[in-house]
Structure 1
Amino acid sequence: MATYRPYRRMAARGRGEGHRVATPLELFFDLCFVVAVAQAGARLAHALEAGHAAAGVSGYAAVFFAVWWAWMNFSWFASAYDNDDVAYRVATLVQIAGVLVLAAGVPRAFDRGEFGVTAIGYLVMRLALVGQWSRAAHGSRGRERVAAGRYAAGVAMCQVGWLVLLLPPGPVPWWAFVVMVAAELTVPVVAEAACPTAWHPHHIAERYGLFTIIVLGETISAATVAVQTALDRHGGLGELLPLAFGGLLIVFAAWWIYFAVPIHERLTSNRRAFAWGYGHYAVFASAAAIGAGMEVAVAEAVGTAHIGARAAGAAVTVPAAVYLFTVWLLHARTVKRGLAQQLTLPCAAVLVLCCTPAGRAAVPLAGGVSALTVVVGVALAARGGRTGARTAG
C-alpha cells in the first residue's frame, strides 16, 4: 500500500507525469456508480416494457446526465489534483455517499417526477466537490488559482440552481432543465479559459475506458438477471438463447471496438479533450441502454411486455447503433485511413438499425452484424499494414 501524508498542499499535478494510472480509490468510486447506472437502466426498461417510450427515454436521459456529470466532475478534478491525503480521501468518500443517495432517488424521479432525494444526493456530492476545488485554489498560484476558484464558484452556483429547480414539488419544466444543463457544461469552459488544468491525457483516457467497462459489465448483468427471471417464471430456453447470444455478441463487439484505438495520443488540447469528454455522454448512456433493451427483449419474448416484437427489438438496436456511431465519431475516425476503414462503423450502425423490423430476430441479427464489424475491421487493418490483431472498427 502506497504511503501518504495525512495532509499535503493540493497543487496541480503535471500532464507529463510518467506511470500515471487510476488509483484504488478511483476504481472504488467508479464501482459505486454502478448502483446509479443500474437504477437508471432498470427504470428505462420498465418504461419501455409498459409502452411509455417517450417518457422513459426522456427520464433516462435526464437521470443519466446527473450520474454522468457527477462522475465527470470528479474524474477530471482527480486527474489534475489528486494528492491522496486524508482530506482528499474523505471528500471522495463523501461524494460516493452522495452517489448512493442519488441512486436511491432514481425510482421516485422516474415514476413520480419527485426529485427531492436525487437533489439531496447531488447536494452532498457537490458540497464535497466545491471543497476540493477550494482546496485546489488555496494551494495554487496565479492563473491556476483563478481557474480553480472559478470551478468552485461555478459548481456552487449551479448547485443552488438545481436546488431551486428540483426541491419544490411538481414537474420540472423541460426548458429549465436544459438551461441548467447548459450552465453546468459551461462551467469548465469558463474556468479553463483562465488557465488549463493539469489533467493527464493517459490517466483520463484510462478513467473513461474503465467506466466503459463498468457500464458494459452492468449491461451483461442486467441481461443475465432478465434471462434468469424469465426462466424462473416461465421456463424454457427456446426463445431466450438467441437473445442471450445476440446480446453477448453486441457487448463483446462494443468492448473490442472501443479499445481498438489508444485515444490518449489524440488528447492534445482542451478543445479536443472537451469534445471527446462531453461526447462520452452518448457512449456511456447508449452502452447502459443496451442492457435495458435486453431486459425489454426478454420480457417481450416471454409475453410479459406490453409492446410488440419490433419495439422490443428497437430497444436494443437503437442504443447499439448510437454506441457504434459515437465511438466512431470520438475514436475511430481520428486514426482510420481510407474510405473503407472510415465507413466500417457508420455502416455497421445503419445495418444494426435495419435489423429492427425483424422483431424477435433483431437482437441475434444485430449481434451478428456487430461481430462481423469486428472481423471486417481486423481484416482492413491487416490489409492496411497495421499490426495488432485486436484492432477493429
Structure 2
Amino acid sequence: MSEQPPPRPSGVLRRMTARGRDEEHRTATPLELLFDLCFVVAVAQAGRQLVHALAEGRPGHGVTGYLMLFFAIWWAWVNFTWFASAYDTDDVLYRVVTLVQIAGVLILAAGVPRAFADSDFTLVWSGYLVMRLALVSQWLRAAHATEGAERRTALRYAAGVSLCQVGWLGVLLLPDHAKPWVFLVMAFVEMAVPVCAELGGPTAWHPHHVAERYGLFTIIVLGETVAAATVAVQSAVDEHEALDELLPIAAGGLLLIFAAYWIYFAVPIHLHLVSNRQAFAWGYGHYLVFGSAAAIGAGIEVAVEETTGKAHVPALAAAASVTVPAALFMLSVWLVHARHHKRGLPQHLTLPVSAVAVLACTFAGRFATLLAGVVASATVVVGVTLSTRGARESAARVRQGAEPG
C-alpha cells in the first residue's frame, strides 16, 4: 500500500506560521479546489464577452477588454495560491476568510459583462475589495504570528496589496480612454509587490504544491474551453442542423485541447522551481498560458458561429480566433514551462516551429481548426518520440560509463 500523508492537527484557531518547503505529501486541499472551481465562473464570463466582441467584428475592443479582465481574474488567483502555499493553517478562521475571498470572486465575475460592455468596473473593483480585505487580514495574521524577516515580509505584502487596491480606483474615476493606461501601470505595480516584499526574506511556498496548483488551474481552464465549445456546437446543431460543417471544428477543437493538456504536463516543472527568481518568472508567465488556453474555447465558439452564419466576420478572422490563441499557448508554454526540461536543438525547436505551423493553418479557412488540431497532435507525437530517444541515449551513455575500461 502507498504511504498516506499524515493527518493535520485540527482546531478552531492555530498559530499561522510558515509551512516547510521540504514538507512531504504537500498537495492541493479540497478548499483550494473549491476556490479554483469558483474561478471558472469568472473565466467563463470573460470568455463569453470575448466571443461576443469577436463575433461582432470588434477584435480590438474584445482583445483589450479580455486582457484586462483576465489579468484581474488571474492575479486574484495568484495572490491566494502563493499565500496558501506558505501559510495554509486550514483552521476555522482560515477557512472562513477563504470563503470571503470566494464571495469576492463571484462579485468580480458578476461585474465582467458591465466592465466589458460599458467600461464600468464598479463591481469588479468591489469584488477585488472584498478579496483584498480578506487577503490583507491573512497577511496581518501571519505577521502577528511571526517575527524578524518573516514578519517584515508579511507586513510588506499587507501594505502593498492595500495600496494597490487604492490605485485601482483609477479605473473608476478616470475617463474611459485613460483606463487601459491605468491598467498597464497598476498591473506592473501589482506584480512588483511580491518581488519587493520578499527581498528581505522569501516566504515558504512549496515547489511541488505550487506546480500542482498551476497544473490544476490549467486543467480547469481547458475544461472551461471544452464546455464552451460543446455548448456552441450543441446550439448550432439544434438551430441549423449543420452537423457536416461543424464536425471538423469539433474534432479539431478536441485535438487542440488534448494536445494542450499533453504538452503542458509533459515535464516535472517542480524541479525547476528552486528560487524566487525562477518561480516568479514561471508564475507570471502563466498569465499568457492561462489566458491563451481560455481564449481557444472562445475562438472555437466564434468559428462555430461564423460557420452557421451567426457571426458576421470573414472566415479568415474566425479561423484566426482559434489559431492565434492556440499558437500563443504553444509558444508561451515552451517559453516559461517546457523549455527548462528540453535537451538538444530538435526538442527546443518542436513547440516554436509547431506554433508557427498552427498560425499558418489560419489560411485553411473553415478547416483551420481541424488542421490546427492535427498539427498540435503531430507536435505531441514528435515530442514524445524525441523525449524517448533522448532518454534512451542518456541511459546508453550511463551504461557505457559504468562499464570497466
Please confirm whether the aligned pair reaches a TM-score higher than 0.5, indicating the same fold: yes
Q: Counterpart amino acid of 1:92?
A: T
| Structure 1 contact 114–170 (Cα < 8 Å) conserved | no
Cα distance in 2 for partners of 1:100, 1:174 equals: 23
1:267 aligned residue: 273
Consecutive unaligned residues of structure 1, counting only runs of 5 or more, are 388-393
| Structure 1 contact 113–170 (Cα < 8 Å) conserved | no
Offset at residue 3 of structure 1 (A): 5.4
Offset at residue 338 of structure 1 (A): 1.2
Q: Counterpart amino acid of 2:32?
A: E
Q: 1:327 aligns with which of 316, 325, 333?
A: 333
Superposed, which structure 2 residues align to 1:5-154 within 5 Å? 5-154=11-160
> Which segments of structure 1 move beyond 2 Å, counting only runs of 4 or more?
166-170
Q: Counterpart amino acid of 2:388?
A: A
> Do residues 292 (structure 1) and 298 (structure 2) align?
yes
1:185 aligned residue: 191
2:171 aligned residue: 166
Cα distance in 1 for partners of 2:346, 2:88 equals: 42
Cα distance in 2 for partners of 1:165, 1:331 equals: 34
Q: Counterpart amino acid of 1:93?
A: L
| Structure 2 contact 306–312 (Cα < 8 Å) conserved | yes
1:391 aligned residue: none
Cα distance in 2 for partners of 1:192, 1:82 equals: 18
Q: Counterpart amino acid of 1:87?
A: L
2:397 aligned residue: none
Q: 2:357 aligns with which of 351, 354, 357?
A: 351
Q: 1:315 aligns with which of 307, 313, 321?
A: 321
SS of corresponding position for 1:229: helix
Cα distance in 2 for partners of 1:383, 1:56 equals: 43
Identity over aligned pairs, percent: 66
Give the structure-1-normalised TM-score: 0.96
Offset at residue 4 of structure 1 (A): 1.6
Offset at residue 14 of structure 1 (A): 0.7
Number of residue pairs matched by the alignment: 386
Give the structure-2-normalised TM-score: 0.94
Consecutive unaligned residues of structure 2, counting only runs of 5 or more, are 1-6, 394-405
Cα distance in 1 for partners of 2:179, 2:98 equals: 32
SS of corresponding position for 1:20: coil
1:340 aligned residue: 346
Over aligned residue pairs, what C-alpha RMSD do you find? Answer: 1.2
Cα distance in 1 for partners of 2:324, 2:183 equals: 25
Q: Counterpart amino acid of 2:324?
A: V
Query: Residues 44-84 of structure 1, C-alpha deviation per residue, up to 9 Å, x if partnerless?
Result: 01100000001100000000000000000000000000000
Q: Counterpart amino acid of 2:128?
A: Y
> Do residues 195 (structure 1) and 201 (structure 2) align?
yes
